[in-house]
Homo-oligomer: A and B are copies of this chain.
Amino acid sequence: MAVVFSRACEYALRGLIVMAKAKDREVWRVPDVAEESNSPAPFLAKTFQQLVKGGILNSSKGRRGGFSFARPIDEIFLIDIVNILDGQRLTYDCALGMPDCHDENPCPFHVHWRRIRQPLIDALSEESLAQMAKK
């Protein structure tokens, strides 16, 4: 088990940040992103396909092909990527795995988890790839 994101999401975030950092380069081949982000290339390729479907990336085949951002990187927020790859697990589900836990019927840890999850959602929602690339 990874820390907070799935491995796929970790690799994607790392890869996208690498891409975002290189302002001059527009199109990236998977092996290059994989190498620079220390991710397994075939697995990252699969993940990037999901991001294409999710509207984060564009892809083009052939000799000068590769992946590029589908919109400006200051309009791509971490939450967009996490939602596509990890779904609502982190942003919605009960930390103790109780299926009918919600605000009106909270599990014993609900109030704590809410207090922690919200700042996480806020950070992911406010932080763009452009900002991440500056660090």
Which residues of chain A have a CB within 8 Å of any CB of chain B?
Answer: 1-7, 10-11, 13-14, 17, 38, 78, 86, 89-90, 93-98, 106, 108-109, 111-113, 115-116, 119-120, 123, 127, 132-133, 135
Copies of this subunit: 2
Q: What CA separation (Å) do A20 and B52 show in the bound complex?
A: 49
Kindly list chain B residues whose C-beta atoms are within 8 Å of the C-beta of A13. 96, 109
Q: What CA separation (Å) do A108 and B1 show in the bound complex?
A: 21
A17-B108 in contact given A1-B1, A89-B1, A113-B4 (Cβ < 8 Å) = yes
A14-B89 in contact given A4-B4, A119-B119, A123-B112 (Cβ < 8 Å) = no
Kindly list chain B residues whose C-beta atoms are within 8 Å of the C-beta of A86. 1
